[in-house]
Structure 1
Amino acid sequence: MLEKKNTRKHRISKEIQRKIAIIIHQKINDPRLGMSTISGVELSRDFSHAKIFVTFLNKNTQKKINTNIFILNNSAQFIRKILHKSIKLRNVPKLTFIYDNSLIQGERIDKLVRSIY
């Protein structure tokens, strides 16, 4: 029974990830965002909240990253409404956008490993 819930949760989070990526690229008309990538979605147990992990290309400064996260969080309600129309869920989760710095940390670790050899 537990496995079935986890696979359902995984399927729903992947579908939300795909739909939100499309919505951001097609419906959000803010030139400050540039190229953004949805790297993951983490759903709460009851599917009422979703953390949306996002990365930005060519946005290296913390100020630009914070601005983009602010823009996305301010657009969360709009994105949620469009998501509600395009996905068949009883309740669409509340969206919170979080910057995913795993790419930067991975590059830093890669440089450290290469410096050893």
Structure 2
Amino acid sequence: MANYRGGRINEEIKKDVSNTIQNKIKDPRLTAMVSVTDVDVSKDLSYAKIYVSIFGNEKEKQDSLAALKSSVGFIRKEIGKNVKLRQVPQVIIELDTTLDKAMHLESLFDKIKK
């Protein structure tokens, strides 16, 4: 039962954070396309790891990640407003590199085929 609740909370926070990043953060460093890929909330709801995938060149990725990390307080405040929880979790932004790893593996498989 708790796992089901955790999944619902993860999805609610994911939708809210995605909306906040797309529509409410006005940081000029946020130029690349940012996608929230996953949210992992701890069992006691005290921490929320938010995995983001950033599409752009390397400089845009670093600038966008820095902008997101500096706006963690704003993101947490928006979660507190929009998601009804007793305790608003501390937000941790992590870069999701699974897409880069998948593309690298795909290129290795293509080399093996040839």
State if a TM-score over 0.5 links the two structures. yes
2:35 aligns to what? 37
Distance in 2, matches of 1:31 and 1:105, equals: 28
Greater Cα offset, 33-42 or 65-74: 65-74
- The aligned counterpart of 1:87 is 83
Q: Which residue in 1 is equivalent to 2:105?
A: 109
Shift of 1:75: 0.6
Segments ≥4 residues shifted beyond 3 Å: none
- Structure 2, unmatched stretches of 5+, are none
3-state SS of 2:30 partner:
coil
Task: Give 1:14's aligned residue.
Answer: 11
Percent identity of equivalent pairs: 36
1:70-93 deviation per Cα after TM superposition (whole angstroms, max 9, x unaligned): 211211111111111111111111
TM-score normalized by structure 2? 0.91
Partner of 2:69: 73
Aligned length: 112
Cα deviation for residue 39 of structure 1 reads 0.5
Deviation at 1:66, TM superposition (A): 3.0
